Structure 1
Amino acid sequence: MSTDHATPTTAGLTESIGRGSLALAVATVQLLVFAGFVLVDRPTLYVPVALASAAGLGYASGRGWFGMATATLGSVLLLALALPLGLFVARQKPDLLADTVTDPAVHQMLYLTVYAPLVAAVGALLFGVPLAYLLARGFPGQSVVAALVDLPLVVPHSVAGILILFGFGRRGIFPGFSVLGTMLGMILALTFVAAPFAVNAARDAFEAVDERLEYAARSHGASRAQTFWRVSLPLAGRGIATGGVLAWARGVSEFGAVAVVAYTVDFFYPPAGGTVPGTHAPVYIYKQYNQAGLDASGSVAFILLVLSACIFLLVRWLGFGKLGGAS
C-alpha cells in the first residue's frame, strides 16, 4: 500500500541526509578555497571569505540578523582552531615526512607513546572502576573523594610531576623503588594525570544504569558482587571503555609530568629484542624542536596528530556507536 506522505521517521531521515549533504558541500567548498589561497601563499585572504560565508549561512538559516551575528562570532573561534591545523598539514614536506616515518627512533618513540599510556589507562580502570561505582551510588564524604579525583585536572602538569617525585621518590611511601628516569615513574605520572578521565567516565556510566535493575537482581537472590558483575558492569561497559580510551589519550598527550619524572627512560622494545632508551612523544617533539628546528619537529608532530585523530575517532565510536554523532 502506498502513501502520499512520508512517515515522521522517514521525513527526519531525509532531512538529516539533506543537512548532511549540505554540510559536506559547504565543507568541500571551504576546503578548496582554503587550498587555493595556500597554493598562492595568501592564507590570510581566506579569513574574510570564511567569515562572509558564515554570515551568509547564518542569515540563510532562518534566524535572520541574529543568526548571522552568532555564526560570524562563532566562526572567529573556529578559525582560531582550524587555521593552525590546516596550515600545519599544508606546510608538511613529503620528503621529510617520509624520512621521519622510516626513522627507527621514531618507531621506538611511537611504541613507548602507545605502550606506557596504555598501561597507565589499564591501571586507572582497574582501581578506578570500583571507586567510580561507589561515587555513583553515594557514600559519606563522597564530595571530598570526588574533589580529590578531579584534582589532577587543575594541577599544573609540571607540578604533577613534582608530586609524583615527592610521593614515590626516595623519601616517598616506597623508598625502595626508583621512579626518577624510570618506566615506573613514567607510568605513575601518566596514571596521575589520566585517572580522572577514567573514573569520571565510569561514574557517569554507572549513574546511567537504572538502579531498579540492580534491585531486581538482588530480589532474585543475586549477591552484591554478582549484581555488579552481571548487571551493573555490562550495562556501563561502553562508558567504561570510553573512559579507558580517554585516559589513554590523555597519557599520549602528556608532557609536563613526564618531562619532570621520566624525561628519558629505558624500556623493552620487542623489535630490538632488548632494552633501549627512549622518550615519550611530546618530550621527543620538544627535543626535536630544540635540536633540529621547526620542520623536523613538525613532521614528528604530524605523525602524533594522525595518532590523536585515530584516538578521537575511536572515542566517538565508543561513545556514540557511530562516527557521525549520537544515535
Structure 2
Amino acid sequence: MSTETTRGRPAVALGTGTTVLTFVTVQLLAFAFAFTVELPGAYALFAVASTGAVAYHRDRGAFGVAAATFGSVLLVALALPLLMLVARQDPGIVVEKALDPAVHRALYLSVYAPMLAALLSVALGVPLALVLARGFPGQALVESLVDLPLVVPHSVAGLAVLFAYGDEGAFGWLEVSIPGAFTLLGVPVDVPLFDGFHYDFSVIGTTTGMVLAMTFVSAPFAVNAAREGFEAVDERVQRAARTLGANRWETFRRVTAPLSVRGVLTGGVLAWARAVSEFGAVAIVAYNVDVVYPPLFGERSETQHAPVFIYREFMTGGLDESGAVATLLLALSVAIFLVVRSLAYDDGGWP
C-alpha cells in the first residue's frame, strides 16, 4: 500500500478489490444499523452521500461527483427492495422452506428450464445476430420482429405460444411412439430394460411448453447482445484474414468468434436471467409441470416454475411463506449469476 498527495490532501492507493470490498462492507453495516433502528430511509441517504464522497476522494471532478451521486440514486432504488426483502425474513421459515422437497423441485425446474431456453436462444440467435450485424435489405423489419417480444405483455406472450404450438398449432400433429418389443423384418425384437417410448408434442402443462414460452421472451436478449458483439469486431481485421487466404468459416472461427465471444456470452446470461424471472407466459402455458426430481433417479411429481410457485405461496400462505421462497430463489440466482460471470468473463482465450 502506498500513499500520494492529490491537490494538497493525502490519498491512500488501495487495490481495486480491497476498495470495493471495503465499500460494500461499509454499506452493509450501515444498512444493518439503519434497519435495526427502523430507519431504512436514512440508509438510502447515506448510500447516496457516501458514493458522492468516494467520487470526490478519487478526484473525479465536479462532473464525476455529480454523475456518481445521481447514478447512485438508481442503484439504491434497485438494491434497497432486495435488501429489505432479505432482512425482513424469519430465519426459521427460510430454513423450513430450504428443507422442503416441494421448494427443491420448484428451484430445480427454475434453473433447468431457463438453461434450456437460454441454450436454445443462443444456438438459434447467434446465426441471426451474425446476419443482422452484416446487414441486408429489409433488416429493419427483422429487427422489429426480434424486439417485439420485449414489448408484448407477458400474458399475451403465453397466449401466442399456445396458439402457435398448442394442440391445433404448428406441431400438434407430431407424435412419436417406439414400443419396447416389436418386429423388424419379421424377426421379433425385445429391447432389454426398455418399456417403450411415446412422445406427444404438447405445450400445455409440459416442460416443452415452458421452455418455448421462456425462449419467446428471452431470445431478443441473446440476439441483440450477440449482434452488438459482432458489430464491435473491426472489419479490417476480418478482411485481413480473408486476404491471407482464410475462407468465411475460418475467418469466423479464428477471428470473428473470439473477438465477439463476450457479446454472445452476455446474451446467454441475459436470456437465462430473463427466463428465470418470467411469470405471465409460463403461468398460462405451463402452470403445473411434471418433473423427475432428483434428476434421472427420482420420481415424477408436479411442481411450478419458481415465480409461479412464489405467487401460489403468497396467495395461500401470505408474505412470510412467499418471502422465504423468494429469498431462496434470489440467493440461488445471485450465486449462479456470479459463478457464470466469473467463469465466462475470465481472460482465457477462445477454445
Give the structure 2 partner of residue 243 of structure 1.
267
Q: CA deviation at 1:195?
A: 0.5
Change (3 A) 1:82 1:226: closer
Distance across 2 between alignment mates of 1:100 and 1:154: 35
Distance across 2 between alignment mates of 1:67 and 1:135: 36
Matched, 1:279 2:276: no
Q: CA deviation at 1:54?
A: 5.7
Change (3 A) 1:60 1:185: same
Change (3 A) 1:104 1:73: same
Distance across 1 between alignment mates of 2:60 and 2:41: 29
Find the residue that maps to 2:241 and give its secondary structure.
Answer: helix
Q: CA deviation at 1:315?
A: 5.8
Give the structure 2 partner of residue 290 of structure 1.
315
Give the structure 1 partner of residue 25 of structure 2.
28
Matched, 1:155 2:152: yes
Contact (CA 8 Å) 2:278, 2:307: kept in 1 or not? yes
1:57-115 deviation per Cα after TM superposition (whole angstroms, max 9, x unaligned): 67777689877776665554443323222222212222111111111111111111111
Of all paired residues, the percent bearing the same amino acid is 57
Change (3 A) 1:253 1:222: same
Partner letter of residue 127 of structure 1? L
User: Which of 104, 107, 120 does residue 104 from structure 2 map onto?
Assistant: 107
Distance across 1 between alignment mates of 2:121 and 2:74: 34
Q: CA deviation at 1:275?
A: 2.3
Give the structure 1 partner of residue 281 of structure 2.
257
Task: Give me the TM-score of the superposition, normalised by structure 1.
Answer: 0.82
Q: CA deviation at 1:219?
A: 3.3
Matched, 1:85 2:88: no
Task: Give me the TM-score of the superposition, normalised by structure 2.
Answer: 0.77
Gaps of 5+ in 2: 5-10, 174-200
Distance across 2 between alignment mates of 1:218 and 1:59: 49
Contact (CA 8 Å) 1:241, 1:318: kept in 2 or not? no
Give the structure 2 partner of residue 40 of structure 1.
37
Distance across 1 between alignment mates of 2:241 and 2:64: 51
Q: How does 1:163-182 map to 2 (within 5 A)?
A: 163-176=160-173, 177-182=201-206
Gaps of 5+ in 1: 1-5, 7-13, 323-327
- Alignment length (residue pairs): 310
RMSD of aligned alpha carbons: 3.0
Give the structure 1 partner of residue 118 of structure 2.
121
Partner letter of residue 288 of structure 2? T
Whichever structure has more helix as a proportion of its residues is 1
Change (3 A) 1:17 1:113: same
Q: Which moved more, 1:310-319 or 1:297-306?
A: 310-319
Q: Which moved more, 1:242-251 or 1:58-67?
A: 58-67
Give the structure 1 partner of residue 253 of structure 2.
229
User: Which of 178, 193, 207 does residue 231 from structure 2 map onto?
Assistant: 207
1:100-154 deviation per Cα after TM superposition (whole angstroms, max 9, x unaligned): 1111111111111111111111111111111111111111111111111111111
Partner letter of residue 112 of structure 1? L
Contact (CA 8 Å) 2:262, 2:345: kept in 1 or not? no
Partner letter of residue 106 of structure 1? V
Find the residue that maps to 2:14 and give its secondary structure.
Answer: helix
Partner letter of residue 122 of structure 1? L
Q: CA deviation at 1:197?
A: 1.1
User: Which of 204, 208, 212 does residue 188 from structure 1 map onto?
Assistant: 212
Find the residue that maps to 1:171 and give its secondary structure.
Answer: coil
Q: Which moved more, 1:96-105 or 1:204-213?
A: 204-213
Change (3 A) 1:227 1:16: farther
Q: CA deviation at 1:224?
A: 2.3
Change (3 A) 1:16 1:302: farther
Distance across 2 between alignment mates of 1:207 and 1:92: 45
Partner letter of residue 219 of structure 1? T
Distance across 2 between alignment mates of 1:316 and 1:192: 24
Partner letter of residue 286 of structure 2? A
Q: CA deviation at 1:18?
A: 6.6
Change (3 A) 1:75 1:228: closer
Partner letter of residue 286 of structure 1? Y
Q: CA deviation at 1:17?
A: 3.1
Report the structure number with the largest CA radius of gyration.
Answer: 2
Give the structure 1 partner of residue 324 of structure 2.
299
